[in-house]
Amino acid sequence: MPTDIAPGLTLRIATPTLKLSDFKVIAFDMDSTLINIECIDEIADAVGRKAEVAAITEAAMRGEIADFKDSLRRRVALLAGVPYAALQEVYDQRLRLNPGAPELLAACRAAGLATLLVSGGFTFFAERVRERLGIDVAHANVLEVVDGRLTGKVLGDIVDGEAKKRHLLELCRQVGCPPTAAIAVGDGANDLPMMGAAGLSVAYHAKPRVREQAMVAINEGGLDRLLEVLR
């Protein structure tokens, strides 16, 4: 039975006596989890297609589109012709870290956890956020750029929900810990595979389906509210 231990903080674990140092790995989604925006929607704004792209993004995050890879290809195709410089403008002008992200990452580092960013978004933003927050490893999708403009294609394998899970399990293997010693934090349906594999799943201002399945749901306040659960 879910328990509200404080306003906007819900637990679905019977005995919340865990410590952060009980874990060895923590994995984060990026868009709308570590940062305040869905980057693809903001890039689409550069060509006046934000509403069209955002509608697909929202449906995918709610779990209404079963094939994330297809939904991403459809959205990226709508970005064809966007100047590559528009990505820097989105990063500079629109992207902000979500409240509590630096504090939670600092606490994870102090407790000795390996940190992972796994995003269905793009490496342009993921690498910058990784560096800004001091995250160990980042995986995201690569946008094809030709003559300074996006082609509307993604290069290589797409990071979807199953890929997020694989990257989490691989980091656990490298660290030498079982998946039960991992935490996964996300907000959308494509985060559910890694959240299901982890020992502790955390929904951050998440879609209803994700909130309902997570062991911890942060519905108000910042990411550092996880530290109210993990002392």
Decide if 31 is catalytic: yes
Tell me the backbone φ, ψ of residue 145, rounded to 5 degrees.
-130, 130
Decide if 147 is catalytic: no
Catalytic pick among 31, 160, 191, 224: 31
What single-letter DSSP state applies at residue 222? -
Catalytic pick among 29, 160, 191, 224: 29
Contact 88, 81 (CB under 8 A): no
What whole-number distance in Å separates Cα of residue 64 and Cα of residue 62?
6
Q: Hey, what amino acid is at 172?
A: C
Task: Enter the tokens of residue 177.
Answer: 């810990």
Secondary structure element (H or E) that encloses residue 141, with its range: strand 137-146
- Centre a 10 Å sphere on the Cβ of residue 81 and count the other Cβ atoms it contains: 11
Between the alpha carbon of residue 215 and those of residues 13, 76, 80, the distances in Å are 6, 33, 39
Between the alpha carbon of residue 102 and those of residues 97, 105, 126, 131, 133, the distances in Å are 8, 5, 15, 12, 6
Contact 218, 33 (CB under 8 A): no
Residues serving a catalytic function are 29, 31
